[in-house]
Structure 1
Amino acid sequence: MKSYKIKEKLEPIELKSYKNLDFQYVVVMTNEEWKERGTDFDMGIEWDIYFRSGSGTRAEVNYDSITGKFSILDRHDMPNKAGEFTFSLDEKGIIFVDDNGLAAEIIEKIATTKKLFNPCLERFLYDFLEQIIYNDAELLASYDRNLDEIEKQIFGGHTDNVLMKIAEIRNHLRDLKIHYLELMDVCQEFEENENEFFMASNERYFHLVNQRIQRLYERVTSLVEFTIQLREFCQSKTDEKQNSNLAYLTVISSIFMPLTLIVGWYGMNFKYMPELDEKWAYPFTGIVCVLIVVVCVTFFKKKKLL
């Protein structure tokens, strides 16, 4: 279990009791540690419901606390999770129950890199939520660049496996979109401050981070719409290519149709066909066939069908 005192920088501390403190704290512990030391805190929490639940990030207001769960996407391996952990907070501090170490990693990063101008629980929560979405702007920019490359491929007529790539990106963006919606719900629960755990002057921190998540959500939404447009564009290009192939086959069939007629005509087993006994009949028929091909090819090229 790790404990921190919220000051200008998070200060690691060791306390036997967390009751009647004159400062706000941050605690990270495992589920087993909570079972052993949960009575040290004035929070009657049943964590099992969050561990059993398959839902994502959420927060719920209770009589004496705000409890919830963070389900963090692995930005490098979506839709897998980087980790899941639960939390509970009141006006005295916040407790994270985390068995995989992700919450401890985020808090350690805040402790080593952040200096709080206004040390308080609200500012810590602002920094914590900021760490969750820290590199998301660059992540969305990379998706934007990938989609631009796919668009260039489609313009160039290279549509093989493009729909699969678009579908994969769209699925990732959909997961991010849901993740941002859940984070915004958590921010709104904090901002509403139903239990009055937070100072009114500090509620702006939740509004600020909520706005940033909102902008990421809007950007994801526009990228999802872009994937839909690309999918339709790719499908139209594929249809265009198929129509072009069908038109080409139609032209070839049209050229060979009169030749097929001649073959069928002279393939009839009639005894009295006078030109069959003439010496000039065979070369004349060959010349006629060549002329037919030349005339048809010239005609279709003028019509830009070849």
Structure 2
Amino acid sequence: MIKSHRVHYERREDMFYEISNTVKPVGYREIKNSESIYVGIITLKELEEIYEFFDFSESTLTTCRSENKNMQNTIAVYDDYSFGIINVIDSKDIHKSPDKVAFYIMSNLFLIVDIFDEDKSTISALDMVLARTKQNKVTLEKIIYNFLSRLIFEENIEIENLELKISKLEKQVFSNEIKNFNDELLLIQKKLSTMRNYYEQLVNIGEDLMENENDIFQDENLRYFKMFTNRVDRLSNNIQMLRDYVSQVREAYQAQMDYNINNIMKVFTVVTTIFLPLTLIIGWYGMNFEFMPEITWRYGYLGVVFLSIVVVILCIIWFKKKKLM
């Protein structure tokens, strides 16, 4: 756990910082050929102005400019640097446009490109990392780990909230107080699917960083990326468990619906069976044959009514005895 160690530094939304005994702003031209560690956050427009200075590939700039909302979170490895892009979803509201963050990693620089950040969460995450970084023990890998970890800092809370929502739906099923069940379950399923896909892509990023293909990281510090990957993997596993939970609740809901339908059909069957003899009696006496018994009897009508009541009572007694009512 990183101990809180607040530092004081001037803050602008676009700046490079040298991380040494203090955190101090520097110009980007001071970074090349320096042994210090630097962190930067710039806009897309500023990247267009300086990408050639750092010899970044133009294809990375094209990727940053792309407005494709379905772009995958990924890392591309070059000889002297790595380039990555992350679409940071808001797990509280998956319909909200994700923040879009690109980053370049050199042997002494972690450069963040803040492409789209409506709520300023990317800047806030970097502020938190710089404020909590202990300068005398700082490494490039640790800074990257801390920044990536801030992106998933509150995910456990949202997963717990989702579990509570699913549990609430389950209680509604067993108490037979089902309201808007399918709509709510579909929303939860969509959210779980989006979050799982997001976490799996972050796992891939962590694994790519661990591979260290261009040797820009120190081997002893690769453990930070292993820690990040394990953390995201646990989130992904938790999401999978919730998906299984949703499947169980859906099956319970379907079983409850089948049970309710069976009860309705049972009532219809009982009612139909009770009144079947009455239908037969009515059919007989509706024929009006001349020599039918009681057809001319003074109390014939009342006799048929009494007979019908007796038949209904006997049927009800029999159904109750057989526990069908």
TM-score, L = length of structure 2: 0.88
TM-score, L = length of structure 1: 0.93
2:45 counterpart of 1:32: yes
Q: Secondary structure at the match of 1:39?
A: coil
* Number of residue pairs the alignment of both structures matches: 305
Residue identity in the other structure for 2:93: D
2:170 counterpart of 1:151: yes
**Could you tell me which of 149, 153, 166 is aligned with 1:130?**
149
Counterpart of 1:180? 199
Q: Secondary structure at the match of 1:138?
A: helix
Contact 2:101 2:113 in 1 (8 A): yes
Instruction: Report 1:108-127 matches (<5 A).
Output: 108-115=127-134, 118-127=137-146
Aligned residues with identical type, % of pairs: 27
CA shift for structure 1 position 163: 2.4
Counterpart of 1:4? 17
CA shift for structure 1 position 238: 0.5
**Could you tell me which of 93, 107, 112 is aligned with 1:91?**
107
Rounded to whole Å, the distance in 2 between the matches of 1:70 and 1:209 is 15
2:277 counterpart of 1:276: no
CA shift for structure 1 position 45: 4.2
Moved more, 112-121 or 256-265: 112-121
Deviations 1:124-143 (A, max 9, x none): 11111111111111211111
Counterpart of 2:218? 199
Rounded to whole Å, the distance in 1 between the matches of 2:116 and 2:26 is 22
**Could you tell me which of 79, 92, 104 is aligned with 1:76?**
92
Residue identity in the other structure for 1:56: Q
| Structure 2 gap ranges (5+) | 1-13
Residue identity in the other structure for 1:43: F
Contact 1:43 1:64 in 2 (8 A): no
| Structure 1 gap ranges (5+) | none
Rounded to whole Å, the distance in 2 between the matches of 1:144 and 1:136 is 12
2:80 counterpart of 1:67: no
Deviations 1:189-241 (A, max 9, x none): 11011111000110000011111111111111111111111111111110111
Counterpart of 1:212? 231
2:262 counterpart of 1:243: yes
Moved more, 116-125 or 215-224: 116-125
2:79 counterpart of 1:55: no
Contact 2:159 2:239 in 1 (8 A): yes
2:273 counterpart of 1:261: no
Residue identity in the other structure for 1:30: T
Q: Secondary structure at the match of 1:224?
A: helix
Distance 1:77 1:285, change over 3 A: same
